[in-house]
Structure 1
């Protein structure tokens, strides 16, 4: 089978199993197995791949056909122009979350202390540090397995971050100029309706925001008062329909300059607010 035939075969096979972007996924899986790039492909597409490569390619195609996320098969995902290791212990970094990083970078300055709650893969705090390396960064997650991935990503991207295993603020000390968080925010009843790649393979506890999807926002908004420096910022990623609810929670708790920020698709994606002399 030639490289071109392998792409065509993979695309057809994935289409039969209702995989969206079948052609792109077939290419990425072949590129991973054969360790090639586009330039190599176009120069050699009529040449045969090896039997070993074909066997491995068939294996990863079958995994993708089972709706295992592409990123869990390749083991990586790009975010903010950086490469991140991912596995089934962490959510796959998504472009929507880049809005949170961009908003945080508008407020963060060298010398600040920044906390990332529910860090998962570490993509948020690592991306912040790559842009403002002169900060002191702390990241926490309740999952020890997620922290293993986050630490690997910090090493991969050559940044120094203090990681803590903590249920929100339980094991944290000190105060922070900026607290960012992408907490679980899917309503429990909605999880069963998600696409199978998310519903069946991404970590449930990182998705489940409980009955109304707002449980972690309520807890963080209240507890963060003890950990925010004067005029410090609290910033969240939110679901597309949670802008009003989360901004109202922040205003009721006494945060100032509360804003809802939209993503490129025009959906509510981030809520930010400023603390007022809590500590």
Structure 2
């Protein structure tokens, strides 16, 4: 059985305003995709004066207060769209003249202008039009009916035309979301997107109903005022507005309570008119409406347990076919709570506050969209070190550890001191070499600004600033220019063929930098350039070492041979595939 509630609402720009027992709550979807909720305690002058609560009088007072609140919430919601725009000269003047009251002044101006425009369109024009029929001898009743019908026609035409605008269409979608959410609440169902989506979008207490009934009531009421001069008729219509709105308010309240045949008949035209003023909302708009209603009614979200959150995260990631969905959910919740996986597994009944839950679900959404888990966590384990990384640098792979281990062996055997890690990315190779051999000095080179940021972070994280530095360079251009010399040049350059980029897994293709992946038409562009440039910066008896694609061993060896390198060796990974090529300079 439907329960009677007094919750009301209004669609605003990219959001919904709801009025409930806790106040007026306005929820807005920001350009960044977040939901911002603002709630205000709004008192009515009716609370201070019992006379203003009398039937019919309260309707007019409520109308004025609703208009004021509506304009204020529209101003609030629009602020998210133009928050980065510079204030206009007019806005600056208002701030200067009225200071903290400038918002109220703007509301007053908008309310006045809206009233004048509405009176012109919906009162003056219909009255003037109906006056044309007086010349053919029609009586007052017919003239009032013609005026009313014409006014309704203007209203419907106006709604139809503005609904063709994209922004208004979205506003009407939020209008639909508002109605569906209120229906769900009135039926005492849990306010979830699934439950709200099932509800109808046409509501008997809608403002569209109110406006339509205002026009019908005005036809009846204005018919007793006679049909004198145009000015007199306009004056009567203005003076009778409080009466019209008061009567309509009582009718609307009755329609919300009654399920009689009469009430359904009276509500029917206005409800059908909502087919023009509402649209089916999407799930993100329903989320906004739900957030608004919950805030307005003071509905607190029950805190979920660690176990419940892990189950939710697992389900979300599983539906998009992420193989490691269980581990990923654990890692993301561990990050949010600042605990390890063991803690999660042994404290599954512990509750998590709403803010932490929101953070967790935001990270789950990133992973759902195939962002690599290591980018979300902001760290990756490589050579036993926990390196800082972020989107914009290549994620170090375990296969690359073979390259680092082989270089460490050469350093130990040959006593190499000066090393260049070219195309360094996060600095994984160079920092690992310096960390595990304290006699080395490493220059990490890359052209990327993000690489520079991450390398310096990792340098300081492991206390290597005295022996490791970052040099911004397009390949070896800076080293050649400054005449740097090195014992070892190590590099994991881009080596994927351009045509193969689109065949990569989604998390690699969509998120990892193509600058660090695309090796040109045959995948060998960077090997050719680096092999050629390296002759200028490598010491005699120095070595060059590359990570390579599994099928590039012979080709990269050939490039090094063409550039005069000797003792060329191909090393394999644990799968038995070519992974590293090492050669000696002269």
- Bucket of the pairwise TM-score, normalised by the shorter protein: over 0.9
Separation in structure 1 between the aligned mates of residue 308 and residue 346 of structure 2, nearest angstrom: 14
Q: Which runs of 5+ in 1 are unaligned?
A: none
What SS does the aligned partner of 1:200 have? Answer: helix
Alignment match of 2:510 (pick from 176, 200, 207)? 200
Residue 443 of structure 2 corresponds to: 138
**What does 1:130-209 correspond to in 2, within 5 Å?**
130-160=435-465, 161-172=468-479, 173-209=483-519
Residue 410 of structure 2 corresponds to: 107
What SS does the aligned partner of 1:241 have? Answer: coil
TM-score, length of structure 2 as denominator length: 0.46
Alignment match of 1:12 (pick from 298, 315, 319)? 315
Residue 120 of structure 1 corresponds to: 425
Q: Which has the larger radius of gyration?
A: 2
What SS does the aligned partner of 1:95 have? Answer: coil
Please tell me whether the aligned partners of residues 497 and 523 of structure 2 are also in contact (alpha carbons under 8 angstroms). yes
**What does 1:222-261 correspond to in 2, within 5 Å?**
222-261=532-571
Residue 22 of structure 1 corresponds to: 325
Asked if 1:215 corresponds to 2:518, the answer is no
Q: What whole-Å deviation, never above 9, does each CA across 1:199-221 have from its counterpart, x for those lacking one?
A: 11111111110110000001111
Shift of 1:41: 2.1
Shift of 1:181: 0.3
Separation in structure 1 between the aligned mates of residue 342 and residue 498 of structure 2, nearest angstrom: 45
Shift of 1:38: 2.8
Separation in structure 1 between the aligned mates of residue 396 and residue 427 of structure 2, nearest angstrom: 9
What SS does the aligned partner of 2:500 have? Answer: helix
Shift of 1:39: 3.1
Residue 86 of structure 1 corresponds to: 389
Q: What whole-Å deviation, never above 9, does each CA across 1:103-155 have from its counterpart, x for those lacking one?
A: 11011145611111111100000000011121121111011221111111111
Shift of 1:82: 0.5
- Structure with more of its chain in strand, by fraction: 1
**Larger displacement relative to structure 2 (188-197 or 37-46):** 37-46
Alignment match of 2:352 (pick from 32, 45, 49)? 49
TM-score, length of structure 1 as denominator length: 0.96
Please tell me whether the aligned partners of residues 238 and 268 of structure 1 are also in contact (alpha carbons under 8 angstroms). yes
Aligned pairs, how many? 276
Q: What whole-Å deviation, never above 9, does each CA across 1:139-188 have from its counterpart, x for those lacking one?
A: 11011221111111111111131211111111113211111000111111
**Larger displacement relative to structure 2 (118-127 or 107-116):** 107-116
What SS does the aligned partner of 2:535 have? Answer: helix
Please tell me whether the aligned partners of residues 117 and 139 of structure 1 are also in contact (alpha carbons under 8 angstroms). yes
- Structure with more of its chain in helix, by fraction: 2
What SS does the aligned partner of 1:174 have? Answer: coil
Q: What whole-Å deviation, never above 9, does each CA across 1:60-105 have from its counterpart, x for those lacking one?
A: 1111000011111111111101011111120011111111101110
Please tell me whether the aligned partners of residues 111 and 136 of structure 1 are also in contact (alpha carbons under 8 angstroms). no
Determine which structure has greater relative contact order: mean sequence separation of CA pairs < 8 Å that are 6+ residues apart, divided by chain length: 1
Please tell me whether the aligned partners of residues 394 and 425 of structure 2 are also in contact (alpha carbons under 8 angstroms). yes
